[in-house]
Every structure is written in structure tokens, then in C-alpha cells.
A and B are shown apart, each in its own frame.
Chain A
């Protein structure tokens, strides 16, 4: 990739928007997963009795719900990212590529 192409892409506001919105979105999701998982780990290490607390009159505990919920939420976060990337980010990328091609043909 030559320096001219690099500058042309970098100065495209759509490219700047793509990079900024995507990285903000991605780090938000990643930090969410981090906090969820390490929060769970710290709970296990320091306050296991919270997870062992029973729900209602049966044997069901908070921990079972939390555990299954972490698995389900992890899958959902991948779905949320995939959905937004498939529409918004892919559309922006396609436009950047198209504009690059047009500017090269001038």
C-alpha cells in the first residue's frame, strides 16, 4: 500500500468514523465480558457464600443461575457484535472501498 493510498484512506471521514465507533464498541463489550467474568471469579474467591445462597424453598442456588447466565450472556454478546458489524461496520467498509476505487479511477 503506497503512502498516497494510506493518506487518502486515513483522511476519509468514513474511515475515521469506522475506526472510532468500532473500537469504542469493541472495547465496551470486551470490558463488559472482563468485568462479568472476573467479578464472578472474585466472588468465588472471596464471597462463595453469596453464590451458595439458596433461592426460594428448593435446593436451587444463586450460583447456578449466575453460572448459566454467564454462559448465555457470553453467547449473546457475540451475537450483538456480529449483528452490528454485519450491518453498520460492513456498510461503512464497503463505502470506503468504493470511494477509494473511484478516487483511483479519476
Chain B
């Protein structure tokens, strides 16, 4: 193990050195950023080595042995959820449009109370490693696992492509490193964290990243507020002065144009969170329902706080960045695009050193998010597809772990390849599609398997598949793919967000194909509900629960 680890660490370091050299040749490497990032990489690789010695069983690998505390897990969830895209993207949106940025933040946050009330403890009480464990608890293993694994892998890959392409571009701008190198470094490091250190290393990478990101963002928001004697009113007044749209930035703009789109986006965001496999997996890392609920409380608190910070940061950028010609090109646009608003603000309030810190944090953020995604994808392959579907639960732990490591490397290499292949493609629809699939396939199956006694295998499989297919087809026929990417004159499906339709399709067809199901399997499915419900409600017999 140690030899393997050293080999990976060596490859990563060599790659970084090569990349640095290439970047230096291009001119414009951000030295403080690279130094701080290297410190982060060495620290996290150290943690990975420490974690590798504590990762002996499949349970260790998938769930860090179930020994993560609620607070740690809450921070890790926040670390998983606060991606570079939400940090830079939302502050950039606030910078560009003011109030509309806040509308997005709210949508991303309100899914969390729902996760807490309806699924977090239930997942912990019923599941083991993946959310498919819960969905297939009383239904037939094979078809449900295949569908759940397919939904997981689809969400993971779409999310990964978006992260990889975003990271390549971001690192290119921040560090002055070539795009391909950036993508390869991200891929290699994430493979190292996950294969060597499993969930324990992934968790700590996420915790450290969450603390760094929250500290950096807090410093920026305080620095901005300090300019205005900690009076937000003055900040807003100054921003209205400075912004070309004037007082309009204080009220809703054109982001939400018609009610259907607004509700559809809202549903995708709210229920999507409750169907993201890498988030759901985090509930298996804690000991019991109590720690699971504490995780969500802590995570929601930090994520909510973070969104308030990004709002202040966006307004800070309006007053401190958009008025400073040093950050603007000849047309008055931000260097590197609107998403760089927070990065330029870091320079404006903290100079080169703090810019380096924020750049390193952005890189760390990407690493943490892709590691969590990769682990979730790998467990869908090794635990659901291989161990339970292919080997029908007869596989020993060693083999299952080996398969999950191979799957991790496979997903990692595939992600590097996709990241490079999609460099110049329009990937704007991918995260939206990932949320739509999570909300219309994963969430309805999971939710109804926990709460609805009459759900049957047939209903879940047909309804879940229809929900997934509807989400994919409507995105393809919608304005972003059909019109903007494929170049057709008019979109066949007029709305950008399909969730309102695909969620309804999923629930209605699951209901219809369950209540009309008169098979023997349906009888078994329903009979098993009571035992499941008691375990769900009390945790009696739960995996990893502490026995008294």
C-alpha cells in the first residue's frame, strides 16, 4: 500500500512540476497561489496516507467505518455542496445582476430542510453504503439496483464533466497552467485520495476545504463591510451608484421570466439535492440517526451562511472591482469573465497573497467535490452493480474493495478524458440535467420506497425509468441543447428546466404501475413494508447503529 501511495504521490508531484514549467514558459504563473496549493496537496496527501492505514474493510472504504461525527459530516457535506461553481458562479451572478443571484442561492438552500425532515435519518437507519440499499430494501434487488446505479452514474458523470471543464478553465486563469495539465492534475489527485484513502480521506479533504473556503469568504465579506463601517445600507447605496443597471440590481430582474420555468427550476433544485448520490452517501458515514440529523443541521447552517457571504462578495465586487480599471479590459468587462468577480475582489481587498490563497482554495474546492463524486460513482459500480447484481451478494469484501478501487481509477481516467474532450463544448446544461435526473429518478424511488406501502418493484422500475427518460429527452428538446447547441431555429420543448414535468411523470407512473400491480412480487414488496418501517422509525436492527 505504501509503495502504491508513494508512486501516486510521485506522479502527482512530477505532473505539477511539469505543469509549473510549462506555465512558467507561458509566463504568468501565480506563484503564491501555486505555493499555497502545494501546501494543501501535501497536507491532504499526508492525510490520505494516514487514512489508508485505517481503511481495511469495505465499510471503511465506503463510509469511513461509520465513525464520522455529525459536525465533521456536516462540514464535509457543506464541502461537497459548495462547489467552485457556486462560489464563483453565484458571486459572479450577483456582480452582474444583483438580486437575481440571491434567487439561485435560495433555491440551492431550501432542499436541505426537506432532506433533513424526510430522508436523512431514514437513510441512516435503512442503508449501508449507497442509497440503492434503501431503495431496494424491500423491493427486488436486481432491477432496482440497476436503475438506482444508472441514475447515480448518470448524475455523477454529468456533474464530473461540468467540474472537470470548469476546473481546467479556472486553473488556467488562476494559476497560468495549461488546460490539459490542470485537468490531469485534478484527475490524478482525486484518484489518489479515493483509491488510497477511501471515504476517510475524501471526508477530510472536504472538511479542510470547507473550513478554508468559509474562512476566505468570511474575510472577504468582512473586508467589504469594513469599507462601509459595517453598514450594509451604505454598501448597497454605493453599489447602486456604481452599477450600470442602477437601482434595478436591488429587485428581481429577468432571471425568472415565466411561472412554469420558475416553479420547474425550484423543484429541480429542491428535490435534486435529495437525489444526489454523493450527498446521500454521506449519511452512511455517521453512527446513527442522531448524528445524521446533526450533520444536516450543521451543513445547512454553513451553506446558508456561505450564500449570504457570496451575496455580500458580489456586491463588494460591484463597488470595489467594477470601478477599478486594473481589473477590466478595454470594453469594461472583467478579465476572465464575470465568474472572476470574487477572485478580483480577493486581490482588491487582500493583495497578491490573498489572491493566491483564494485561488488555491478554488482548486482545493474542485478536488474535494470531484473526489466525493468519484467515490459515489465507484460505489454504484462496485457495491450495487458488481457485488449485488452481478455476484448476487456472494462476493467477499476484499474483491469488492478491489473492484471499487478499479472503478475509481476507471472513472478518474474517464473524467480526465471527458474533461479534455468537452473543453470547448457548451456544458451549461449539464449540472441542470444532473439535478433534473436526481429529482425525477433517484428522489421519487427513494422517497416512495421509504413512505409508501403500496409501492412495488414494477412501479418503481417503470416510473423511475420514465422519470429519468423524460428529464433527458426534455433537456435535449429544450432551448439550451436543441436551439443553442444543435443550432435549430426553435426549441421543441419551450422550457429550460424539465423538472416540473419529469417529476410529475415519475410520481404518476410509479403510482399507476404500483397500484395496478397484482403480481406475487408486489405482494412480497408490500408485506415487507412493516418491518422496514419499524427499522426506519426506530433504527432497530440498523447497520452501524450502536447496540445498547
Say whether A associates with B.
yes
Chain A residues with CB under 8 Å of chain B are 1, 6, 9-10, 15, 18-19, 22, 26-27, 29-30, 33, 36-38, 40-42, 44-46, 48-49, 51-52, 54, 58-61, 63-64, 67-68, 70-72, 74-75, 77-79, 81-82, 85-86, 90, 93-94, 96-98, 100
> A79 contacts B297, CB within 8 Å?
yes
> A1 contacts B270, CB within 8 Å?
no
B256 at the interface (CB under 8 A from A): yes
Task: Rank and list the top 8 A-B pairs by shortest CB-CB distance, nearest first.
Answer: A52-B251, A45-B259, A1-B531, A67-B102, A48-B252, A82-B297, A75-B304, A61-B250
Among A38, A52, A59, A90, the one with the most B-chain Cβ atoms within 10 Å of its Cβ is: A59
Provided the pairs A30-B114, A44-B256 are in contact, do residues A9 and B250 lie with their beta carbons within 8 angstroms? no
> A38 contacts B266, CB within 8 Å?
yes
> A71 contacts B270, CB within 8 Å?
no
> B233 contacts A6, CB within 8 Å?
no
CB neighbours (8 Å) of A18 from chain B are 537-538
Give the interface segment out of B151-159, B288-296, B325-333, B348-356.
B288-296
> A81 contacts B270, CB within 8 Å?
no
A29 CA to B548 CA in the complex, in Å? 31
> B250 contacts A78, CB within 8 Å?
no
CB neighbours (8 Å) of B244 from chain A are none
> A19 contacts B537, CB within 8 Å?
yes
> A9 contacts B300, CB within 8 Å?
no
CB neighbours (8 Å) of A33 from chain B are 110, 113-114, 117
> B297 contacts A6, CB within 8 Å?
no
> A51 contacts B251, CB within 8 Å?
yes
Instruction: Give B503-548 interface residues, CB cut-off 8 Å to A.
Output: 530-531, 534-535, 537-541, 548
CB neighbours (8 Å) of B293 from chain A are 81-82, 85-86
> B259 contacts A46, CB within 8 Å?
yes
> B113 contacts A58, CB within 8 Å?
no
Provided the pairs A6-B531, A10-B534, A41-B256 are in contact, do residues A59 and B250 lie with their beta carbons within 8 angstroms? yes
How many B residues are at the interface, by size bracket?
35 or more
Q: List 29 A-B contacts (CB under 8 A).
A: A1-B540, A9-B540, A15-B537, A18-B537, A18-B538, A30-B117, A30-B118, A37-B106, A40-B106, A41-B259, A41-B263, A45-B256, A45-B259, A46-B259, A58-B237, A59-B250, A60-B233, A61-B250, A61-B251, A64-B99, A68-B308, A75-B305, A78-B297, A93-B539, A94-B548, A96-B538, A96-B540, A97-B540, A97-B548
> A41 contacts B300, CB within 8 Å?
no
CB neighbours (8 Å) of A58 from chain B are 233, 236-237
A11 CA to B271 CA in the complex, in Å? 34
Instruction: Give B246-293 interface residues, CB cut-off 8 Å to A.
Output: 247, 250-252, 256, 258-259, 262-263, 266, 270, 290, 293
> B103 contacts A45, CB within 8 Å?
no
Provided the pairs A6-B534, A71-B105, A75-B300 are in contact, do residues A63 and B99 lie with their beta carbons within 8 angstroms? yes
A23 CA to B129 CA in the complex, in Å? 26
> B300 contacts A78, CB within 8 Å?
yes
Chain A, Cβ-Cβ closest to B296? A78
Provided the pairs A45-B259, A58-B237, A78-B113 are in contact, do residues A67 and B538 lie with their beta carbons within 8 angstroms? no
> A38 contacts B99, CB within 8 Å?
no
Mark B64-101 against chain A: 1 for CB-CB distance below 8 A, else 0. Answer: 00000000000000000000000000000000000100
Provided the pairs A75-B301, A78-B296, A81-B116 are in contact, do residues A44 and B534 lie with their beta carbons within 8 angstroms? no
> B538 contacts A15, CB within 8 Å?
yes
A1 CA to B112 CA in the complex, in Å? 32
Mark B224-254 against chain A: 1 for CB-CB distance below 8 A, else 0. Answer: 0000000001001100100000010011100
CB neighbours (8 Å) of A72 from chain B are 304
Chain A, Cβ-Cβ closest to B263? A41
How many whole Å from A74's CB to the nearest CB in chain B?
A: 5
B307 at the interface (CB under 8 A from A): yes
Among A51, A67, A100, the one with the most B-chain Cβ atoms within 10 Å of its Cβ is: A67
Provided the pairs A26-B117, A67-B99, A68-B308 are in contact, do residues A60 and B266 lie with their beta carbons within 8 angstroms? no
How many whole Å from B452's CB to the nearest CB in chain A?
A: 13
B403 at the interface (CB under 8 A from A): no
A49 CA to B305 CA in the complex, in Å? 27
Chain B, Cβ-Cβ closest to A77? B113
CB neighbours (8 Å) of A44 from chain B are 103, 252, 256, 262
Instruction: Give B170-227 interface residues, CB cut-off 8 Å to A.
Output: none
Partner of A59, one of B105, B236, B297, B307: B236
A67 CA to B121 CA in the complex, in Å? 28
Partner of A52, one of B114, B250, B290, B297: B250
A6 CA to B536 CA in the complex, in Å? 13
B462 at the interface (CB under 8 A from A): no
B109 at the interface (CB under 8 A from A): yes
CB neighbours (8 Å) of A67 from chain B are 99, 102-103, 105-106
> B251 contacts A81, CB within 8 Å?
no
Partner of B109, one of A9, A42, A54, A71: A71
How many whole Å from B49's CB to the nearest CB in chain A?
A: 35
> A45 contacts B106, CB within 8 Å?
no
Mark B297-312 against chain A: 1 for CB-CB distance below 8 A, else 0. Answer: 1001100110110010
